Amino acid sequence: MRCSICEERLKKTEAYFGDKGTFYEGKLLCETCYYEDEPCATVLYKRDDQPYVISHARDETEGDFSVSWHSTDPWRGYYETKSEKYSLANTAELLAYHESEQMLKDFDEKIRELFDEHGIDYARIFARSSNVFFQNYDLFVRKEQVLLGSLLVARAKAEVDYNNPKWYKNIVFDEDALNKIVELFPERQIKTDQDATRLIEELGDNALTELQNRMKCKKNDGV
**Chain residues that interact with Zn ion, rule: CB under 5 A:** 3, 5-6, 30, 33
Cβ closest to Zn ion, residue 30 vs residue 95: 30
Min dist CB 105 to Zn ion, Å, is 38
| 16-17 vs 28-29, strand pairing mode | antiparallel
Cβ closest to Zn ion, residue 5 vs residue 95: 5
Min dist CB 38 to Zn ion, Å, is 14
Selection from 93, 41, 43 nearest residue 72 by Cα: 93
Min dist CB 17 to Zn ion, Å, is 12
The Cα–Cα gap between 4 and 8 comes to 8
CB 39 within 8 A of CB 53: yes
Cβ closest to Zn ion, residue 5 vs residue 89: 5
Selection from 2, 7, 8, 33 nearest residue 18 by Cα: 33
Cβ closest to Zn ion, residue 7 vs residue 101: 7
Count of CB atoms situated within 10 Å of the CB of 44: 15
Cβ closest to Zn ion, residue 37 vs residue 138: 37
What is the DSSP code (8-state) at residue 194? Answer: H
Min dist CB 15 to Zn ion, Å, is 10
SS3 52: strand
Min dist CB 189 to Zn ion, Å, is 55
Min dist CB 53 to Zn ion, Å, is 17
CB 51 within 8 A of CB 134: no
SS3 43: strand
Selection from 110, 105, 123 nearest residue 152 by Cα: 110
The pair phi, psi for residue 133, each rounded to 5°, is: -90, 0
Cβ closest to Zn ion, residue 25 vs residue 202: 25
